[in-house]
A = this chain, B = another copy of it.
Amino acid sequence: MAGNSFGQLFKLTTFGESHGKALGGVIDGCPAGVTLDLDKIQNELNRRKPGQSAIVTQRKEPDTVEFFSGIFEGMTTGTPIGFAIFNTNQKSKDYAHIKDSYRPSHADYVYDQKYGFRDYRGGGRSSARETASRVVAGAIAKQLLGEMKINAYVSQVGELQLDKAYQELDFSVIEKNPVRCPDQDMAEKMEDYIKSIKKQGDTIGGVISCVIQNVPIGLGEPVFDKLHAVLGSAMLSINAVKGFEYGSGFAGVQMKGSAHNDAYNPDGTTKTNRSGGIQGGISNGMDIYFNVAFKPVATVLQAYDTINKEGEKVTTQGKGRHDPCVVPRAVPIVEAMAALVMADFTLLARSNKI
């Protein structure tokens, strides 16, 4: 219950520190008989991998997943799927300078306070490297979703905001640029901007939008486990996320009910979709869409003042290989968490009716 598991029936438990021997996880509850495309899994990891373009961290981590169990002759057996990604490129010395001091807006300080000490190498468990395990599990969950399609993309970097509704976008463009923005012009603007931020040794925040299509009606549970509540907690559990909104979101608060309501078509679909595909916490068959806000990465490659364990002021120089902007690499993470949620509710929905 120390919060390293996610899901009820399709359940992921992860382990691993950024500079330990390996990261990985166990998926419990994956149904038997799923023929897994292992290349698709590695491909999702590659989308998250460092060094994939000029605008992300240049760390070299192969991030190759190794499966230990739960798959036999290419099919899931219904038993737990254990897997690991072995660390190969640990430059622990990069972190010697933070062993005794606390990086601003990192978890260093609270870890020492909560646990009494910490694995200071690369942030240890608080490193976003942990999300590699989520991407593996999400890639397996995706293969359970049948017709459902999950498309995440970068819709904002700093003040550069894509002001198009998702219906106007061509998702096939997403993987054609390093930013993962479905609008090529905006993608280039964002790319240039991230490069300039990188030059400054600084970082910048962004927003990832996600659209889930072909969703069956009836996923989600009415009260505490509303579909959007679980999606929200899934997204908020990703490193650096500061906010979540779905459907009309924060903008919806300014609308009147008469204007906000989604009128029905005879077939039960709705003429508009301000509900974001979810009513009363349950999917209504319309597209689900939501936005996830990411703060700027805390590690800036600049000199800064902070404190050490004794509370003495120290001046430090940010080092290591870090992302100037996290959203391009976070796109597959958002998709993975969304896939875990949808797979779990898909299994759960089977027990709703007699």
Contacts and interface: CB of A to CB of B under 8 A. Distances in A.
Interface string A92-115: 000000000010111101110111
A119 B304 contact: no
A268 B243 CA distance: 25
Interface stretch (A40-48, A51-59, A69-77, A168-176): A69-77
A311 B256 contact: no
Given A15-B70, A307-B268, A252 B124 contact: no
A33 B224 contact: no
Contact of A24 (B78, B82, B130): B82
A233 interface: yes
A353 B78 contact: yes
A252 B296 contact: yes
A56 to B, nearest CB: 15
B236 A228 contact: yes
Contact of A250 (B22, B218, B242): B242
Interface in A1-60: 1-6, 8-9, 11, 13-17, 20-26, 28-29, 31-34
A153 interface: no
A353 B236 CA distance: 25
Given A81-B15, A236-B229, A257 B299 contact: yes
A320 interface: no
A186 interface: no
A69 to B, nearest CB: 5
Interface of A: 1-6, 8-9, 11, 13-17, 20-26, 28-29, 31-34, 66-70, 72, 75, 77-82, 84, 102, 104-107, 109-111, 113-119, 124-126, 130, 144, 156, 158-159, 197, 200, 202-207, 217-218, 221-226, 228-230, 232-234, 236-237, 239, 242-250, 252-258, 260-268, 270, 274-276, 279-284, 291, 293-300, 302, 304-307, 311-313, 347-354
Given A2-B351, A114-B218, 18 more contacts: A2-B28, A5-B13, A13-B13, A13-B80, A78-B353, A102-B264, A106-B279, A109-B264, A204-B257, A205-B253, A229-B233, A242-B252, A243-B246, A243-B250, A245-B245, A257-B298, A258-B302, A266-B312
